Amino acid sequence: MASKPEIGFCGLGAMGFGMATHLVTQGYTVTGFDVWAPSLDKFKAAGGIPSTSLSESAKDKQFYICMVATAQQATSAIFSDDGILKGLPKGATLVLCSTVPSAYAKTVERDLKFVGREDVFFIDAPVSGGAIRAADGTLSIMAGASPAAIEKGKWLLEELSAPEKLFIVEGGIGAGSNMKMVHQVLAAIQILSLSEAFGFAAALGLNGKDAREAVIASEGWSWMFENRSVRTLAEDYFPGASAVTIILKDTGIITQTSRQHLFPTHLVNTAEQVYLQALTRDYGSNDDAGLVRLWTSTPVSSIDASSLSASDKESKLALVISLLKAIHLVAAVESISFAKHVGLPLQQLYILAKDAAGGSKMFEKYAPELIALLEGGSGEGEPVKLASFTEELSKAVDKAQEVKCPLYLGGTTLSLLLAAKGAEDGAGLKELLSVYVGR
């Protein structure tokens, strides 16, 4: 481009502030709006132009980014009397980066027409990656829109994302939000599975540090486990990097959308009930790595495991790993089959999720086969023996019952494996998929 265009921005929270100031450091003139005055002061200090009016922040801006927290806030920001549309010039590009239901993004598209602003190039582009990557301009972005809107706004999405982390999702408005949603299926399950694993380890008398080391080196690995467990061991929950209410907002989008699509998201549903349980314990604003407190009030890094023999310790760690492996396998099935159900390109989900916050060893290993099966192929690679997953998880659940440890995800996972007749010889991913998509 000849000269750098001016950009309007609203929502200067942890993520939005990073994104907006990154654009400033890249030499853009960015006018930022937020309802919280201190954020505006901070933004000014970082070189941005603060604005106390949404319409003013959008005035003469050919590009505008909306990064508010919720769909309700987005509606108010865009459509209110003194909102973004009031200031936004004809033919401008409006990028909604908030995580919202796909159906909501479609509503915005419809309402833009309804209020006579079909001139606006609207892009549905939720992001992932956390505040640090937001500030570095290395986010993952999942964007859906008309080809014309993508053409207009792609350079801006590129400024905010890492190379190879910008995913233009086919399917128009809503496809970006759907892609984020099916990624969050993995995230929502794996945020809880790590606390469940630490809770189980504690009930078995294992020290959290040993559990972390063993899981990270195993097929039970997930990105969330490696990331969150640092805070779990340090009891760094206050306020922490990612509050329980944030993942709860995402599970709300997932389970609401799954109800609308009449598709069962068994494990996310289970996780959501436990997240709601955490609210009743007043853990909502704490970091989600602190959910282990639903299992034990003892700091997991302080558990004395010195009386365990080496072989006893090893067999107990194996149970914890078996638990995670089985949960993450079914999480992959839940995410990918839901993606298929809402019409997303599965190969793109695979590329996106395997290196993102939803990644796990199980996803990376089995997603290709799952995708092949869902796309009508016969599958490829070594057949998965569900029987071994079922048998190993069954041992873990047996043991948990003995030591009186609730395994919310583990129990649901075993029920699903059994429903898939997963213990039978020859049962594989096809049988497991059938629990979600029918036979």
Q: What is the binding site for a second copy (CB under 8 A)? A: 252, 255-256, 258-259, 262-266, 269-270, 272-274, 276-277, 279-280, 294-296, 390, 394, 397-398, 401, 404-408, 411-412, 414-416, 418-419, 421, 423-424, 435-436, 438-439
Phi/psi at 181 (nearest 5 deg)? -60, -50
Task: Identify which of residues 23 and 409 has a Cβ nearer to a second copy in the complex.
Answer: 409
Minimum CB distance to a second copy, residue 303 (Å): 16
Smallest gap from Cβ 306 to a second copy, in A, equals 25
Nearer to a second copy, 262 or 310 (CB): 262
CA pseudo-torsion sign 11, 16, 21, 26: negative
CB of 254 to a second copy, least distance (A): 11
**Complex with a second copy: residue 26 or 260, whichever CB lies closer:** 260
Task: Give the amino acid at 359.
Answer: G
Tokens standing for 93? Answer: 């590009």
In the complex, the smallest distance separating the C-beta of residue 399 from a second copy, rounded to whole angstroms, is 12
Residue 346 CB, shortest distance to a second copy, in Å, is 21
Closer residue to a second copy, CB minimum distance, 278 or 371: 278
To a second copy, the closest distance from the beta carbon of 126 in angstroms equals 20
Identify which of residues 118 and 398 has a Cβ nearer to a second copy in the complex.
Answer: 398
CB of 73 to a second copy, least distance (A): 17
Q: Shortest Cβ distance from residue 131 to a second copy (Å)?
A: 26
Cβ-based nearer residue to a second copy, 170 or 398: 398
- Nearer of residues 37 and 403 to a second copy, judged by Cβ: 403
For a second copy, give the closer residue by CB, 207 or 390. 390
Tell me how far apart the alpha carbons of residues 422 and 390 are, in angstroms, rounded to a whole number: 6
Tell whether omega for the bond before 299 is within 30 degrees of 0, i.e. cis: no
Which of residues 211 and 435 has its CB atom nearest to a second copy in the complex? Answer: 435
Q: CB 8 → a second copy: shortest distance, Å?
A: 32
Least Å from the CB of residue 393 to a second copy? 10
Using the minimum distance from each CB to a second copy, give the nearer residue, 47 or 252: 252
Query: Can you give the three-state secondary structure of the chain, one letter per residue?
Result: CCCCCCEEEECCCHHHHHHHHHHHHCCCCEEEECCCHHHHHHHHHCCCEEECCHHHHHCCCCEEEECCCCHHHHHHHHHCCCCHHHHCCCCCEEEECCCCCHHHHHHHHHHHHHCCCCCCEEEECCEECHHHHHHHCCEEEEEECCHHHHHHHHHHHHHHEEEEEEEECCCCCCHHHHHHHHHHHHHHHHHHHHHHHHHHHHHCCCCHHHHHHHHHCCCCCEHHHHHHHHHHHHCCCCCCCCEHHHHHHHHHHHHHHHHHCCCCCHHHHHHHHHHHHHHHCCCCCCEHHHHHHHCCCCCHHHCCCCCCCHHHHHHHHHHHHHHHHHHHHHHHHHHHHHHHHCCCCHHHHHHHHHCCCCCEHHHHHHHHHHHHHHCCCCCCCCCCCHHHHHHHHHHHHHHHHHCCCCCHHHHHHHHHHHHCCCCCCCCCHHHHHHHHHCC
